[in-house]
Structure 1
Amino acid sequence: MPRRVKCDELRPRCATCSKSDRECMYAPATDSPADPKPSASDSARTSTPPLQDDALATSSSPSVAKKSVTADIDPQLFVNSPELLFDSPLTNVASVPSPNSAPLEWYDLLAEDAINNIDKYNLNLDIDRTCLSRRQSPVPEEETIDPVLDPSGQDRDVINSSDEQWNCPENIHLTNDQLVLFQHYISVVGPILDLYDSSKQLTTTLPRMAVRNVGVLKSLLAVAARHLALISEPQIHQLNLGEQIGRLESNASDANSFQNSLLQVATQYYYETLQYLSQNLLYPSYSKSREIIATALLISTYEMFDASGQYSNGAWERHLRGIFWIQRSQNNNGESHDPLRRAAWWCWIRQDTWVAFREGRRVLTIWRPTKRLMDLNANELCLRILYICGRCVDFAANERKYDMITRIDQGSKLLQALEDWHHALPSSFQPIYKVQLPEPGNLFAPIWIHPPSHAAAVQTFHFARIIVLINQPSMGGMEDFRARQRFLDESVETVCGMAMMSQEKDLASAFADFQALYAGKPHVSLIYYISRH
């Protein structure tokens, strides 16, 4: 791998680095080749000091302990390393619709499945199926500037969208039943979506948008009703939803009819959302708005909750690529200036990473962070681990395409990135309660990390580390095997210990716990078997 061409140290940016679009890295006063000064980056290119034994028991991983990315290598070569890119075939420029057509292509995916379900299941909906077809544009199509070339367009959308004719000038009146669903979204569903994001945009900003936009409102109500249909009767009491649910249950004869009623309501709102999209997608301003991003995310969330439902047929998984098209057409990413677009991007990437892991495919994004790891605050670190986790899922999908040496090297780089992320964590990510030894009859000791966003980030760290350790080949013999088993044990013990401490009312954290437990399930089963024999 070629070495970095040295900066000529002109400020604020030298000519050499400007040409190659690199960050200047000024040499220390004594430039000794035997003792180069390390640099830091978003994926943690330098080796970290040995981690101390802490409550999470996350010392350096086996491959990392032997080898780390050296400090004198051009950091851009590591960032652009082809084996670590999200290079899914579905993200190739040639296969991505143009900015103008991306929302329409996404809608076609939705409408085709929706119309097929009406025919296949004879759905009794108060809607005309012909209204799901795209209508003619109500306004002339305008010339669209590539959002990559005009990033300032996002700021204009934030200011102007409230005045658009596809928004209501006054708040939309909510019926009593709609108010119950609206409150359920804000109190239960929103915190699930905002788990990693301290700005809570999807719990605060999005509902205010919903009372001015019919599409956002209908999709929000669909999500709330579909989630409510998943909640069992004991959970309803644990969440103190009895009084609210009682208002919805008044016309239901039993629990089953109540659940069926909610499913019918959710499906109706879902189809009404599609009807709204068919009428408004051809407004050029709407197809580039925050409202369509919010609606697309809510539709995807509805389909996530409905993934095991009778009418799903894998719709959630198929439609995620359409949201990727819209995100890319608007140049949205994890560092977007608009906080709502940024929050929606991170929530979407959580969904796509999980689906990619389950399907054994790569994650649908081409974006890479620009902020260095050392420059992130605690809340940004919670989001960064989602990106690193996506790369680990990508590695699990890609690793069989490379020879063993390359695969080992890829895994080592990812393990190093994970360890460097963990080393950068402030004390707020440490447990506030931890039992040293499991109680009699239990395999694991409880661990409690607060706040929930930090706990979820730590769970995601171990989820990602388990994925890499399971998929990375080894040529280190028995010593390396034992080290790998030790790190797997540590991650599984942390994942299970944290899952034991999840509060009964904390449905948001349960999502992160479940995903981490799913990844560690084979290892947990082995531990259980050994403990019983």
Structure 2
Amino acid sequence: MAFLIQVLDARVADDFRMDLFDIDKHFSQLVPLKALRDALLRNAIAAVAAKQLGRVKGDKPFSGRQCQRPSTMETLDDVAEVDWFYKAANYYDKAIAFSRIYLEALSGTLSRPSSPNMITTTSVTNSDDLLVAVSIFSLYESLDSREMGWLRHLAGLKTLLTAISVKQQGLGVTLPSYSAAHNACFWNFARADHQAAYINRQKTHLDPDDLDMWRSCGLQVQDNGALYTDLIDIKSEQSQCRQTVQLVAHTLIYLALRVVNYLAQNSEQEWDSWNTLNCQLELWYGNLPMTFRPCAQIRHRHQSGAAETQLTEVFYSMETCAASIQLYHFARILLLVNKPRERTGVSRLKAYREVSSEALKHAREIIGIALGRPTPAVRVEMLLPLYIAGGCLEADDERKTLVEIMRAIEKDTGCSTSVTVNSLESEWGWIEEPKGVD
């Protein structure tokens, strides 16, 4: 038990980008408490924590100098002798076994209820725990690769979310909103869904056109495409600040899914669809509350001593805002590079130059937030935006800076970036690493 407590304290929450858009921090603050009495969650969390420790070789980073010595719970003995990946796999296997038991029990409750009142507190709790566990399984797989394993868990999570939602609706269970766990899992799923869809060049699991589903999870999108019930209320933050931040962030995730689905269309891209998405993104950005503005910006000084640089270091007071703004610039780049051909007399070369210039501006904004060194959760979440930004860069000093950022993310968080870096260097034509890159 003592070892398990140490593993649970291994700051797995640092990689909990799962909570990045959740003001209640359900995964990092509430789930560990549930895990004290739930074997499924306890083993799932331990699996992720152990794998994370394996990737960072047992190191637990501390921010800045620490005057007080670490507590005994924070100190892991004989780190070098521990096979963290073996322990991770062991906990993972146990968690999978418990999940099968939960799934069998839940399947019986959902498929053969004796009455509409059959969905009891216990069954709802079990379904919530299973949703959380499958979400953690996806995180476990994604620590190794952004390719296959985590995508299977995403598909399973979508099936589970749908089954629970449909059954509740069919039994006449009137819920103004789902449970906190359900909403946390839904938005974590949406966060990962647009990434998976983009990587695999396919449509998202979640349907952006199912407005009732999005509204049931807190979104305010209207039938006519309007994003909020009251724009003035959003921009002036008359409502509670943290709730507004979450709503604005969730709205952008919804738009990101719409953009990715636009790219996945097989038919010729239509101007109407592109213009609608472009206008919605402009509307979102133009009505941001003050909390989404950076609290500080300074010019970045590259280690190579380059006299001039177009990069700045950007700092945000809230990690949700930093991640949201990066996602916004990511979506804008995707739209720009997939803009339908002009049907006017504008030359293709001129159109390319205009798109290239705009995309570069968005790319520098993404890198600027990364240079501000936000929390680990934001740094792990920014890998896909950084990759897209890298494709827009032309100056070697900016490319070197991007490589340094991505390699530092891997060293600090254990999240693999080598494949992404190699892909960018190949795209740039860098057969060998340029001098000056550590």
* Equivalent residue number for residue 328 of structure 2: 461
* Equivalent residue number for residue 75 of structure 1: none
Normalized against structure 1, the TM-score is what?
0.57
SS in 1 for 2:205: coil
Does residue 447 in structure 1 map to residue 314 in structure 2?
yes
CA drift at 1:260 = 3.4
Does residue 298 in structure 1 map to residue 148 in structure 2?
no
Aligned mates of 1:307, 1:513 — CA distance in 2 = 14
Task: Give the residue type in structure 1 aligned to 2:124.
Answer: S
Aligned mates of 1:264, 1:245 — CA distance in 2 = 22
Are 1:474 and 1:481, in contact at CA under 8 Å, matched by a contact in 2? no
CA drift at 1:412 = 1.9
SS in 2 for 1:447: strand
Question: Which has the greater radius of gyration?
Answer: 1
CA drift at 1:390 = 0.9
Does residue 403 in structure 1 map to residue 229 in structure 2?
no
CA drift at 1:363 = 0.8
Does residue 213 in structure 1 map to residue 76 in structure 2?
no
Superposed CA RMSD in Å reads 3.4
Aligned mates of 1:510, 1:349 — CA distance in 2 = 18
Cα distance change on mapping 1:513 and 1:186 into 2, 3 Å: closer
CA drift at 1:483 = 3.0
CA drift at 1:423 = 0.7
1:47-77 deviation digits (Å, cap 9, x = unpaired): xxxxxxxxxxxxxxxxxxxxxxxxxxxxxxx
Are 2:52 and 2:143, in contact at CA under 8 Å, matched by a contact in 1? no
SS in 2 for 1:435: strand
Pick aligned residue for 2:383 from 500, 510, 514: 514
Aligned mates of 1:259, 1:223 — CA distance in 2 = 10
SS in 1 for 2:382: helix
Q: Percent identical across equivalent pairs?
A: 16
Cα distance change on mapping 1:261 and 1:437 into 2, 3 Å: closer
Are 1:444 and 1:497, in contact at CA under 8 Å, matched by a contact in 2? yes
Aligned mates of 2:13, 2:24 — CA distance in 1 = 15
Aligned mates of 1:277, 1:447 — CA distance in 2 = 45
Aligned mates of 1:350, 1:294 — CA distance in 2 = 19
Are 1:226 and 1:266, in contact at CA under 8 Å, matched by a contact in 2? no
Between Structure 1 and Structure 2, the one with more helix by share is 2
Task: Give the residue type in structure 1 aligned to 2:279.
Answer: Q
1:438-484 deviation digits (Å, cap 9, x = unpaired): 55435622111221111111011011111111222231435543332
Are 1:361 and 1:394, in contact at CA under 8 Å, matched by a contact in 2? yes
* Equivalent residue number for residue 8 of structure 1: none
Are 2:135 and 2:185, in contact at CA under 8 Å, matched by a contact in 1? no
* Equivalent residue number for residue 350 of structure 1: 191
Cα distance change on mapping 1:270 and 1:185 into 2, 3 Å: farther
Normalized against structure 2, the TM-score is what?
0.69
Structure 1 residues 373-522: aligned runs within 5 Å: 373=228, 374=231, 376=234, 377-398=244-265, 401-404=266-269, 406=270, 408-436=271-299, 440-441=305-306, 444-475=311-342, 476-477=346-347, 478-503=349-374, 506-522=375-391
Task: Give the residue type in structure 2 aligned to 1:325.
Answer: T
SS in 1 for 2:40: helix
Equivalent pairs counted in the alignment come to 345
Structure 1 residues 282-297: aligned runs within 5 Å: 282-284=107-109, 285=119, 289-297=124-132
CA drift at 1:279 = 5.6
Pick aligned residue for 1:200 from 16, 21, 25: 25
Are 1:214 and 1:276, in contact at CA under 8 Å, matched by a contact in 2? no
Cα distance change on mapping 1:231 and 1:529 into 2, 3 Å: closer
Cα distance change on mapping 1:320 and 1:517 into 2, 3 Å: same
Aligned mates of 1:349, 1:523 — CA distance in 2 = 26
CA drift at 1:509 = 1.0
Are 1:438 and 1:446, in contact at CA under 8 Å, matched by a contact in 2? no
Aligned mates of 1:329, 1:185 — CA distance in 2 = 33
CA drift at 1:365 = 1.1
Are 1:459 and 1:512, in contact at CA under 8 Å, matched by a contact in 2? no
* Equivalent residue number for residue 423 of structure 2: none
Unaligned residue ranges in structure 2 (runs of 5+): 110-118, 170-175, 221-226, 235-243, 401-427, 429-438
Cα distance change on mapping 1:403 and 1:258 into 2, 3 Å: closer
Aligned mates of 1:231, 1:513 — CA distance in 2 = 19
CA drift at 1:517 = 0.3
1:246-282 deviation digits (Å, cap 9, x = unpaired): 43x44x6x36x43334334433433343454366344
Are 1:293 and 1:327, in contact at CA under 8 Å, matched by a contact in 2? no
Structure 1 residues 150-161: aligned runs within 5 Å: none
Are 2:5 and 2:73, in contact at CA under 8 Å, matched by a contact in 1? no
SS in 2 for 1:289: helix
* Equivalent residue number for residue 432 of structure 2: none
Aligned mates of 1:327, 1:267 — CA distance in 2 = 22
Does residue 341 in structure 1 map to residue 215 in structure 2?
no
Aligned mates of 1:313, 1:425 — CA distance in 2 = 34
SS in 2 for 1:197: coil
Task: Give the residue type in structure 1 aligned to 2:356.
Answer: Q
SS in 2 for 1:392: helix
Does residue 320 in structure 1 map to residue 154 in structure 2?
yes
Are 1:434 and 1:446, in contact at CA under 8 Å, matched by a contact in 2? yes
Cα distance change on mapping 1:508 and 1:486 into 2, 3 Å: same
Are 1:270 and 1:299, in contact at CA under 8 Å, matched by a contact in 2? no
Are 2:313 and 2:368, in contact at CA under 8 Å, matched by a contact in 1? yes
Aligned mates of 1:269, 1:443 — CA distance in 2 = 51
* Equivalent residue number for residue 48 of structure 1: none
